[in-house]
Chain A
Amino acid sequence: GENVEQHPSTLSVQEGDSAVIKCTYSDSASNYFPWYKQELGKRPQLIIDIRSNVGEKKDQRIAVTLNKTAKHFSLHITETQPEDSAVYFCAASGAPPGNTGKLIFGQGTTLQVKP
């Protein structure tokens, strides 16, 4: 079945440095790739997403890149701040009507930004 692998599981960076989290997916039909930030005990919050018709998307300090050939996508956070500390999840899904749009999540990355 579909599978999403995420690395690393933990990441510690100094404030101001960049952080990169990588994911690979198995289903070549996947065409939507969101990234979520989850703080302890709270809902996942969408921070950025990308569709398969583009290779890169940026929103201020956050960017996502997608390589469909290699079936991997990455999250880049620049100028990290302590409030970026959280668990980050990547996910992949196909598109309706042929696919329900269900999300398959990666294992998560605990990001710690040290002041």
Chain B
Amino acid sequence: GAVVSQHPSWVICKSGTSVKIECRSLDFQATTMFWYRQFPKQSLMLMATSNEGSKATYEQGVEKDKFLINHASLTLSTLTVTSAHPEDSSFYICSARDLRGNQPQHFGDGTRLSIL
């Protein structure tokens, strides 16, 4: 079945550091990928829609200069948390839709980000 690979799975770093998270569709092409954030015991909150070859669409309240998204190919989207602070600590999950359409979204394993 369709697989989405997300890397890294864990990141612990100092405040002020920028962190890049990769999301890859391994056996299908995805013009659209999605980035979610999940705080403990809460739901998945959509941060942005990543569009291959164009700018990402951010949800209301999400700072685009803080969370940089690049979707340079049909199989890779990256999320960079710039100048991360402790309040950015969370579980970040990506998902991807198959280009062929009418397919369910497939989620990556998520990245646990801890900012000290």
Contacts and interface: CB of A to CB of B under 8 A. Distances in A.
A64 to B, nearest CB: 13
Nearest to B32: A100
A103 interface: yes
Nearest to B6: A43
A17 to B, nearest CB: 24
Interface in B48-75: 49, 51, 57, 60
Interface in B22-48: 32, 34, 42-46
Given A1-B60, A49-B104, A100-B57, A108 B42 contact: yes
Contacts of A96: 32, 101
Contacts of A101: 32, 97, 105
Contacts of B112: 41
Question: Chain A contact residues: over half helix, strand or loop, or mixed?
Answer: loop
A94 interface: no
Interface residues of A, number: 21
Interface in B66-99: 91, 93, 95, 97
A89 interface: yes
A101 B104 CA distance: 9
A102 B104 contact: no
A49 B104 CA distance: 8
A104 B32 contact: no
A39 to B, nearest CB: 12
A45 B43 CA distance: 14
A105 to B, nearest CB: 5
Nearest to B46: A102
B109 A42 contact: yes
A46 interface: yes
Given A42-B109, A89-B43, 7 more contacts: A42-B110, A43-B93, A43-B110, A46-B104, A89-B44, A103-B44, A105-B44
